[in-house]
Amino acid sequence: MGRRRELDLLMAAARRPPAVVLVEGEAGIGKSRLVDEAAAALRAEGRPVLTGFCQPLREPFPYGPVSDALTKAGQWLPDTGLPEAVGALVRLLPNLADRLPPAPPESGGEQAERLRLIHGVRALLAALGPTVLIIEDMHWVDEATRDLLLLLARDLPNELGLVLTYRAEDLPPDTSVLGAAYRHPSGAGGAVIRLGPLTAEDVRELASAALGPVATPALASALYERSEGLPLVAEEDLLTLTEQGGTIDQREAVLRLQDTDVPKGLREAVTERLAGMSPAGSAIVAAAAVLAVPSDETLLAAVAGLDAETGTDGLVEALRSSLLRQTEDHRYAFRHVLAQQVAYQHIPAPRRDRLHRSAVAALQELAPPPLVQIAHHTLALGDRAAWLHRAEEAAEQAAAVGDQGTAAALLHQILDEPGLDTERRSRAATVLARIAYNGVDFTSAARLLRRLVEDPHLPRAVRGEIRMGLGLLLLNESASPSWVSELELAVEELSERPATAGRGMLALVLNERAGPEWAEHWMDRARQALDESGDEALQAAYDATWMTLLGWRGDRAIWDVLDRLPRDADSPAELWQTARALHNVAEAAIALGHDGRASGLVTESREQGRRAGAVIVECYGLVLDLWLDTLAGRWDGLEDRFDALIAAYPDISVPHVERLLALGTLAFARGQRDLALEHFDRAAKHGARQIAVSTELRGTAGLMSVRLAQGAEEEAWAAAGPALAALRSAQAWTKATGLVPVAVEAALACGDRASARQLVEEAHQGLRGSDAPAAVAEIHVARGLLGLEDDPEHAAEEFGAARRGWLDIGRPYEAARATERQGHALALARKTDEATELLVAAVDTYSALGARADVSRCRHLMRDLGLTRPGTPGRRGYGDRLSPRERQVAELLAAGATNQVIADTLYLSPRTVENHVASVLRKLRTTRKAVAGALGEPGPDG
């Protein structure tokens, strides 16, 4: 009742896969009822529906909810043709083992096993055909399952519908249901369904369906007032009224409902059923309330202290009373969490303690024992000393199987315990430090690690472990420049643990701002740590960092080294480091000007990242793809592609910053100078806080270009100072960021020829022996600018070399800029025919790219030089249609440009702009504010 729209929405999405449906709502709002009705309808259509449940006291068994769901897939498995990857699920799905391909040999440790399981799950779901996977109560999901579902949601099998239910209020702070904000990928559908309270009319219909004619308006109104539209409370009340049948006085029921608030109403409904139960039924319900998770019949009877036969009788009674329900895996649980809480509070305290002791004893007999639950029951008994022991065991178990979320939560609890002894505090702090930098709760983790690292009672090496975790956490989050000092001190504190210290040394290597000598120093120390430890994971990290440095330097040896890099590793450490190396060298290749190679490396890095389960590599790879699109002139839809990426990864800063740089370039090319200036300024300021210098240099170069176009030469040259200092400190001459040529242009515009010449010479020396074609092209541009006035013919040769370089690399916009400059230089050298040909070619390229500001500038230059486009026909009339110039003006008006901005962008006089604006408004029959709508384009505010 009252959920027809939501049900239709859910059914429509599930019937048109691939799709992801998120069903959000508070406890008791009807999420399970909604998906149950949808599942029944979909099953009736012949579509497989697999359901799994997350549990509040989950054991650290990754993928438990997913494995529970997949266990039910047997009837839909094809007899043959399952992919080999599905064999990785043999140990996870023992009941289906004889239907699955052989299990792969165990190799590479637990992380490699995790990766095989992830690929196996996706392969199995893909093999099932049109299928719906429902995972309920995602607010209790374990971290491994959440990561799997996030990866699955971002790369759905073509015929899979994924449905997730959750309570937003019970998610960890600042965490979305999948750990990162999710936007449907291209080609996938879905919906976000937020369930709210039922209306009064909905409750009336619900009452009529349950009670028939006896559901008077007064009773329906009382039900609605007491439930406040919460289906759980309304249904529980109606269940109670139905059980009382014809004996109930409806007027008395109305009065009772009117006098009771919602929590008390639910408590009375549950308590009333509890009061009429036999001792055996009451004991089973009490045991279920204490256990608080779905449990099998044997465990319930053991905790209740009943023999098998009496336990079965009690369980049957509890099921008939609707207090308990049977889950799909033949376990038993309360129908609702709130009902469990009422039942638990109904147990007298002495009996409750006895049941917790019985639970501990019974759970200890299981193999393996569920340590998280045992710790919970121990704490409920008030035995904090025993709880500490149990919680530490549970945390170690969780960390060992890769469930870092459970481990971290338990470790936080342990470390918050007052009076904790130093030995136990050291153990817990060390484990937390090793996993914290991969977690999602940055704020609380950083706060706790800072407090622990200042504890003088902890051993020096333990403080080093903690400090290492803190430093890596700060580095990963770009939260504070103090990461450098934290890691330096950690390395010294970990002198007796070289494998751990080596991780910090390699992180310090990547502080590009400190310069090449800094990197060499820390690489040497990491090599020593590696020699001392012989640690395989450290070796893989060392190799990846070495390849990163080779790429940064433009060392020609990098390509041979990459060819030898193993792509088929099984070790999780090697998989991750291979993905990291491929990505880092791909990024370096773009900066160097090897765009073709970079594109292939990006594809490889993303593939390796998927194998390693590293979502971050996928994100960063997509960013590099969009950077390559910007450089290659693939500008159509670029903003939408960035927006989609940011929606998928909103908490990662890299896509946001690259978007600023890309859209700054587009805005500048289209004449939106103020917008371009804002984008470049924000990017440069963000980049100044990063350990790598490229973003700061690229942002500053863009900002300076806008300032020069505005005629603000002094401001442009002043902006170069900090960026040039960073460039010189890092010795990052191989990276083509646009800074060197624009800084030379600004220096010359301010009459500082000596600084311009010095910068060119520094850049030239910095490139000796390197393989950096893009930086070489930039030096050709800078040399051409230096010689433009005194020797324009030689300047034309330099610009021509730059043009050929950019064309070889595959960057049409930069090639057009060099072509325009070469044409200008040839015109100054009085080679007008060649100049005209080049300038016309530049205009054509700008036009194809949609760079209208560059088109106008280049045409204005041709007019100033007295050059005309050959074969240009006479002026034609356009009637009521916009001329090309009027369309340029209209597009700038649609973007919110003032007349002065239009004049500056198109190199027109203010009077000419006024005439064009008047003509545009007349032809479009619109006002200035409505031009965007008349053109069918978004306005300045989107």
Locus of tokens 């640690």: 535
Give the mean pLDDT of the chain: 86
pLDDT at 263: 47
Quick one: DSSP state of residue 92? T
Domain 4-196 is in which class?
A: alpha beta
Q: For residue 290, what are its two tokens?
A: 């204490």
Mean pLDDT for the stretch of residues 518-537: 95
pLDDT at 794: 97
Under a CB-based contact definition with an 8 Å cutoff, are residues 336 and 232 in contact?
yes
Under a CB-based contact definition with an 8 Å cutoff, are residues 257 and 225 in contact?
yes
- Three-class DSSP category at 918: helix
pLDDT at 891: 82
pLDDT at 214: 62
Element (H, E) at 53: strand 49-53
User: Per-residue pLDDT tens for 751-762?
Assistant: 999 999 999 999
Q: Which residues of 245-283 are buried (b: 16+ CB within 10 A; e: fewer)?
A: eeebeeeebbebbeebebeebbbbbbeebbeebeebbbb
pLDDT at 923: 80
Lowest mean pLDDT among 285-289, 427-431, 436-440, 556-560: 436-440
Backbone phi and psi for residue 396, each to the nearest 5 degrees, phi listed first: -65, -40
pLDDT at 733: 98
Under a CB-based contact definition with an 8 Å cutoff, are residues 393 and 372 in contact?
no
Cα–Cα nearest to 680, from 725, 732, 723, 619: 723
Give the C-alpha separation, 310 to 315, whole Å: 9
Which of the pair, 805 or 935, is modelled with greater confidence?
Answer: 805
Asked whether the predicted pLDDT for residue 337 surpasses 60, the reply is yes
Q: Got the DSSP string for 638-663?
A: HHHHHHHHHHHSTT-HHHHHHHHHHH
pLDDT at 440: 41
| pLDDT band, residue 613 (cuts 50/70/90) | low
DSSP E strands in 601-720: the ranges are none
Quick one: DSSP state of residue 874? P
pLDDT at 942: 45
Q: Highest mean pLDDT: which of 232-241, 263-272, 320-329?
A: 320-329
Cα distances (Å, whole numbers) of residue 319 to 107, 191, 233, 274: 45, 35, 19, 12
Under a CB-based contact definition with an 8 Å cutoff, are residues 328 and 72 in contact?
yes
Q: Is 826 exposed, middle or buried (0-12, 13-18, 19+ CB in 10 A)?
A: buried
Provide the whole-model pTM. 0.62
Range list of H helices, 416-480: 422-436, 442-453, 460-477
Q: Got the DSSP string for 254-314?
A: HHHHHT--HHHHHHHHHHHHHHTS-HHHHHHHHHHHHH-S-B-HHHHHHHHT--HHHHHHH
User: Per-residue pLDDT tens for 638-689?
Assistant: 998 998 888 677 667 889 999 999 999 999 999 999 999 999 999 999 999 8
Mean pLDDT for the stretch of residues 436-461: 75
User: Per-residue pLDDT tens for 365-420?
Assistant: 998 888 888 988 998 998 888 888 888 888 887 776 656 667 777 888 888 888 88
| pLDDT band, residue 588 (cuts 50/70/90) | very high
Domain 884-935: CATH architecture, name and number where available: Orthogonal Bundle (1.10)
pLDDT at 456: 86
pLDDT at 785: 98
pLDDT at 614: 65
Element (H, E) at 194: strand 189-194
Asked whether the predicted pLDDT for residue 240 surpasses 70, the reply is no
User: Per-residue pLDDT tens for 817-842?
Assistant: 999 999 999 999 999 999 999 999 99
Give the C-alpha separation, 188 to 537, whole Å: 38
User: Per-residue pLDDT tens for 887-914?
Assistant: 888 888 887 888 888 877 777 777 788 8
- Three-class DSSP category at 111: helix
Task: Give the domain 391-563 fold.
Answer: 1.25.40
User: Per-residue pLDDT tens for 35-69?
Assistant: 999 999 999 988 999 999 988 766 656 688 998 89
DSSP E strands in 677-777: the ranges are none
Give the C-alpha separation, 37 to 3, whole Å: 10
pLDDT at 585: 97
User: Per-residue pLDDT tens for 269-326?
Assistant: 678 778 888 999 999 999 999 999 999 999 999 999 999 999 999 999 998 877 898 8
Residues 6+ apart with CB under 8 A from 389: none
For the chain, the maximum distance between any two Cα atoms, rounded to a whole number of angstroms, is 109
| Cβ count near 833 (within 10 Å) | 10
Q: Is 914 exposed, middle or buried (0-12, 13-18, 19+ CB in 10 A)?
A: middle
Mean pLDDT for the stretch of residues 700-728: 97
Q: For residue 803, what are its two tokens?
A: 């043009």
pLDDT at 254: 60
Give the C-alpha separation, 535 to 33, whole Å: 53
User: Per-residue pLDDT tens for 878-889?
Assistant: 667 888 788 888
898: left (phi over 0), alpha (psi -120 to 50) or beta: beta
pLDDT at 504: 93
Lowest mean pLDDT among 21-30, 259-268, 834-843: 259-268
- Three-class DSSP category at 57: coil
Cα distances (Å, whole numbers) of residue 938 to 21, 252, 891, 929, 932: 30, 62, 10, 12, 6
Backbone phi and psi for residue 50, each to the nearest 5 degrees, phi listed first: -115, 130
Q: For residue 316, what are its two tokens?
A: 């049957």
For the stretch 297-302, contacts whose Cβ atoms lie closer than 8 Å and that sit 24 or more positions apart, written own/partner, are: 297/332, 299/362, 299/363, 299/366, 300/332, 302/358, 302/361, 302/362, 302/365
pLDDT at 154: 84
User: Per-residue pLDDT tens for 675-710?
Assistant: 999 999 999 999 998 889 999 999 999 999 999 999
| pLDDT band, residue 253 (cuts 50/70/90) | low
Asked whether the predicted pLDDT for residue 436 surpasses 50, the reply is yes
- End-to-end CA distance of the chain: give it in Å, rounded: 39
Q: Please count the CA atoms within 13 angstroms of the CA of 196 that sit on its side-chain side.
A: 3
- Three-class DSSP category at 531: helix
- Three-class DSSP category at 100: coil
Residues 6+ apart with CB under 8 A from 831: 793, 796
Give the C-alpha separation, 124 to 77, whole Å: 9
Residues 6+ apart with CB under 8 A from 937: 891, 894
Cα distances (Å, whole numbers) of residue 640 to 28, 636, 663: 39, 9, 11
Q: What percent of the chain has pLDDT over 90?
A: 48
Instruction: Tell me the domain boundaries of the chain.
Output: 4-196, 201-380, 391-563, 788-865, 884-935
Q: For residue 614, what are its two tokens?
A: 């590293």
Q: Highest mean pLDDT: which of 192-206, 602-616, 672-686?
A: 672-686
Lowest mean pLDDT among 421-430, 775-784, 930-939: 930-939
Element (H, E) at 721: helix 713-730
Which of the pair, 147 or 546, is modelled with greater confidence?
Answer: 546
